[in-house]
Amino acid sequence: MKRAYNFNAGPAALPEWVLQEAQKSWMDFNNTGMSIMELSHRSKDYEAVHNEAKSLLACLLSIPDDYEILFLQGGASLQFTMVPMNLLADDKTGYYALTGVWAEKALKEAAKVGKTETAVSSKDDNYTYIPDPAEIEVPENAAYLHITTNNTIYGTQWHKFPTGLKVPLIADMSSDILSTPLDIKNFDIIYAGAQKNLGPSGVTVVIIKKELIKKNPELPTMLSYETHASSNSLFNTPPTLAIYLLSLVLKWAENQGGIEGIAAINNQKAETLYHVIDNSEGFYKGHAVKDSRSKMNVTFTLQSDELTKKFLDEAKLAGFVGLNGHRSVGGCRASIYNAVPLEHVEALAQFMKNFQQNA
């Protein structure tokens, strides 16, 4: 069987090794006579998987002991609500950096919970760039500053982060977590839907400073971080299969040389595609300005809608999947998350060169 050239934005490509390992135990996990999907989440066999996933993530990301790792459900979209419900007190204001659609959605949900303000925005320029972190001003009495580190739709990414803040820094890292070295101590909460770099859809990772986890009886039980932290994310039935696959992805990441090894390949993948775009004499045009370009989502347009359609049609026939740009931007988008092999990116780069030559 020939694997597709999978450039989907999410759910995205998973490492072949992960799929093969999961297949081995599909019918009989750890000699239990049951699939991982059939195990009780209270069983020792599943508990070992659950705790191993936490341990692997803590090791790969160098997560300090004063942070809690949670495995939740509801995707990043539920975190848009949980963050303000747990942190946004009546006398505080949540500040948001607007750099794309998902940042807008996070702000919209927070505004339903309490007072919010826009700290900085690149919306006026169609989100082609990331604002300078040094220019972000947040008052000391703010509840927090929220950023979206990678913007899948527009193909932009934060390469430097705000520093010297007197308030918690919250980051939605759904589409670039585990892709490049990161100092966790610079953040107070990091959350990420797994379906791009960490595993399949269904589980959301939350990394939160323990001091921010507080018991609040007024919160709905399932929307309190304290509920999940106090029960090792086992208050209710977790997405056991997704967490198992997450643990396999983390093992795969270790075997790639950890984050440093993965980052080196990611840099090479991004450089391969941007080189084609920059040397196409305007045939391909990148959406993001160069110093804000994403290493996870390469967005570009062609010279006309007709040519774009022809490109996408021929790419599909050649086995490339998921290259359509988001409807709000148009054009094309290649999502080159951790599990997308360098060889697939090189194949796309060659296809782009050939298409330009034959257009």
Residues pairing with 5 in the sheet: 320
Verify whether residue 196 is a known catalytic residue: yes
- First CA to last CA across the chain, in angstroms? 31
Verify whether residue 209 is a known catalytic residue: no
At 264, list the tokens: 């080196």
Which of 216, 250, 244, 246 lies closest to 230, judged by CA? 216
Catalytic residue chosen out of the listed positions 54, 196, 269, 295: 196
Give the three-class secondary structure for 88. coil
Given a contact cutoff of 8 angstroms between Cβ atoms, the answer to whether 202 and 215 are in contact is: no
CA pair distance 247, 107, nearest whole angstrom: 31
Given a contact cutoff of 8 angstroms between Cβ atoms, the answer to whether 208 and 189 are in contact is: yes
Catalytic residue chosen out of the listed positions 54, 158, 172, 269: 172
Which of 11, 37, 43 lies closest to 239, judged by CA? 37
| Half-sphere exposure (Cβ direction) of 222: Cα atoms closer than 13 Å | 7
DSSP per residue over 114-149, as a string?
SEEEEEEE-GGGTT-SPPPGGG----TT-SEEEEES
Strand ranges (E), 65-201: 67-72, 93-98, 115-121, 144-148, 150-151, 156-157, 169-172, 189-193
Which element (helix H / strand E) includes 299?
Answer: strand 297-301
Give the three-class secondary structure for 72. strand
Verify whether residue 26 is a known catalytic residue: no
- Give me the active site residues, please: 102, 172, 196
